[in-house]
Chains A and B, each alone.
Chain A
Amino acid sequence: MSAENVYILGINMTKFGKHKELDTLDLACEATFAALEDGGVTMEDMGIIAAGNLMGGAGPIAQMIQKQAGQTGIPAYNVSNACATGATALRVACMSVKAGESDFGLAVGVEKLAGAGLLAGGSRAKDGEAWQRSGRYGAVAAVDGRIGTETMPGVFAQIGMEYGHRYGGANFELFAQISEKNHGHSTLNPLAAYTKKMTLEEIMGDLMIAYPNTRPMCSANCDGAAAAVVVSESKLKTLSLEQQRRAIKISASILTSDPFEEACQVLPDVNTLTRNAAKQAYEQAGVGPEDLDLVELHDCFATAELVHYDNLMLCEEGGAVDFFKSGAPFRDGSTPVNVSGGLQSKGHPIAATGIANIWEICHHLRGEAGPRQIEGAKVGLAHVIGLASACGVHILEKSSL
């Protein structure tokens, strides 16, 4: 492929947590202007904007950002792809640059979720006068809770337990240990929503949401935004040496959906599409899992992190439990995973997540991560998955320009 290489020129995430005084647009603009400033460019330079916001409901977020940050008349794409929304927005901007339509692209994800509680599945239908069938199952009442669960903590609990059934060794305590790792990592991340170390006893003894996921093992609903500016390699070469030095190469940008597998319409299959995305990403980037200095993967629940060690091929097939027990995914291990604290402590403002995880990787590759810096990091992988399903995998590398 002779298409242009694409780089991250500027990137930012806001503090994740409660932002009572800021609305969705305030957060989006804060991240946008910070990313532009980080890249040494302005809205005037951008050739495309792609943005996502799932829960705001106020209208097309890309144009709303333009109305505040600069109406320059460029094409605006409003992106919605569940928890992969941010990664999808970034990929849209990348594709425009790759296609030669733009020199610079802007991707933004933003969410206001603090206090949203559990994001449940379908609520119950009203008790009618007489039973009436509705929906594709022809059910006379809501099926969530009556024919299994559609709630996110329950669905992802089953995904982790299924892995345990297939390969053994995964139990409540092991899943809680994964959460303990991420909460431990979060103490070094000042932008995380929660930065408190938690003991295994505290995690296992906390409120049970959907066995084996207790509350601290679930991603934290919070407010936050993240934005990234991408640039073509040929344009980057005309910019300052400082901009070139800090630019991060996007060695692979992959998006997959879930191919049909038996049972995938009964329990979402988050495995096959992640494995497919990872394979494509390694091939596109010309690197292997053993080359990764750090990984930010989609630990929306502790039970999810385990299966993605395997799906991203960080371990042998079926070897995720041993991989964890070896200490590999700890920040001093061979493949540090979620040194940001992951979604369980950093927080999960849905549409922002797929850009925020790339910010974390870039931060380390630039050598700017302060006390949580993974020393000498050169290659990193960022992964998100949104149910329904969409998987985004980006491999990022230190610039060699």
Chain B
Amino acid sequence: MAEQIPFVEYLVLGDDPHLVAHECTACGARFFDRRNACASCSGTEFKQAKVATQGVVRSFTIVAFAAPGIDVPYVSAIIDCDGTSVRANVVNTPADPENVKLGMPVRLTTFPIGTDSEGVEAVNFGFEPAA
């Protein structure tokens, strides 16, 4: 099997794929990007926190125009994963308002997005209906 790497650094692959956040040890605020400090309390100590892989769609849109190389239409959503908000595409369901609903339960899934010249496969995440 080809070597796999996660699309972003906050995605952990393997048997139990999940997202990991930088959690401020002082106030508990969570972030997905590289941090200089906490935007909530300016603290500088973080621990790695596993984010729930199940959630509900708190908001979504169906994007019909996007940058070159992005298939449209696609569903962009804000997922409430047990109190941590995650931005992701909703996948494995038709991109229309009949199939994507506010409050819909979803779960994390992963999928390859391409292979580079050295045979390394990049794997991204999305959320799929969990009903």
Contacts and interface: CB of A to CB of B under 8 A. Distances in A.
Interface of A: 118, 120-124, 127-131, 133, 136-149, 151, 153-154, 157-159, 161-162, 164-165, 172, 207-213, 260, 262-263, 265-267
A137 B8 contact: yes
Which secondary structure characterizes the binding site on chain A? loop
Interface string B56-82: 011111111111111001101110000
Interface of B: 5, 7-10, 29, 31-34, 39-40, 57-70, 73-74, 76-78, 83-89, 97, 102-103, 113-114, 116-118, 120, 122, 124-125
A267 B85 contact: yes
Contact of B87 (A142, A148, A157): A148
B122 to A, nearest CB: 5
A146 B33 contact: no
Contacts, number: 154
B34 A262 contact: no
Contacts of A130: 116-118, 120
Contact of B66 (A120, A127, A158, A207): A120
Contacts of A148: 76-78, 87-89
A162 B59 contact: yes
Contact of B59 (A143, A146, A161): A161
B66 A260 contact: no
A157 B75 CA distance: 11
B89 A210 contact: no
A158 B60 contact: yes
Contacts of B65: 118, 120, 151, 153, 209-210
B5 to A, nearest CB: 6
A149 B60 CA distance: 10
Given A124-B69, A208-B62, A262 B103 contact: no
A121 B70 CA distance: 12
A151 B66 contact: yes
A260 B34 CA distance: 17
Contact of A157 (B8, B61, B117, B122): B61
A149 B61 CA distance: 9
A31 to B, nearest CB: 32
Nearest to B69: A124
A267 B80 CA distance: 12
Given A140-B5, A147-B124, A265-B39, A154 B76 contact: yes
A275 B117 CA distance: 51
A320 B125 CA distance: 35
Contacts of B39: 260, 265
